[in-house]
Amino acid sequence: MSSNKIVFLEQSKMPTHYYNILADLPAPMDPPLHPGTKEPAGPQDLGAIFPMELIKQEVSTERFIEIPDEVRDLYRISRPTPLIRAAMLEQVLDTPAKIYFKYEGANPTGSHKTNTSYAQAYYNKKAGIKKLVTETGAGQWGSALSMACKHFGLECEVFMVKVSYEQKPYRRTFMKLFGADVHASPSNLTNAGRNVLQASPDSPGSLGIAISEAIEVAVQREDTNYSLGSVLNHVMLHQTVIGEETRLQMEMIDEYPDIVIGCAGGGSNFAGLTFPFLRDKLSGAKKNLDVIAVEPASCPSLTKGKYEYDFGDEAGMTPLLKMYTLGHNFIPPKIHAGGLRYHGMAPTISLLYNQGVIRAVAYDQIEVFEAAQLFAQTEGIVPAPESSHAIKEAIVQALKCKETGEAKTILFNLSGHGFLDLGSYEMFLENQLLNEA
pTM of the model: 0.95
Tens-digit pLDDT profile for residues 419-436: 988 988 999 999 987 776
Specify burial of residue 332 (Cβ count, 10 A radius: 0-12, 13-18, 19+).
buried
Query: Distance between CA atoms of 313 and 311, rounded to whole angstroms?
Result: 5
- The pLDDT score that the predictor gives to residue 338 is 65
- Taken in order of first residue, the domains within the chain and their CATH numbers are 6-15+67-110+234-429 (3.40.50.1100), 37-43+54-62+113-230 (3.40.50.1100)
Say whether 184 sits in a helix, a strand or coil: strand
- The pLDDT score that the predictor gives to residue 1 is 41
- The pLDDT score that the predictor gives to residue 4 is 55
Query: Distance between CA atoms of 307 and 373, rounded to whole angstroms?
Result: 34
Tens-digit pLDDT profile for residues 39-52: 998 888 888 899 99
- The pLDDT score that the predictor gives to residue 335 is 66
**Which residues of the chain fall below pLDDT 70?**
1-4, 334-338, 436-437
240, 60 contact by CB (below 8 A): no
- Neighbouring CB atoms inside 10 A of 249's CB total 22
Report the candidate in 203, 177, 163 with the shortest Cα–Cα distance to residue 423. Answer: 163
Say whether 259 sits in a helix, a strand or coil: strand
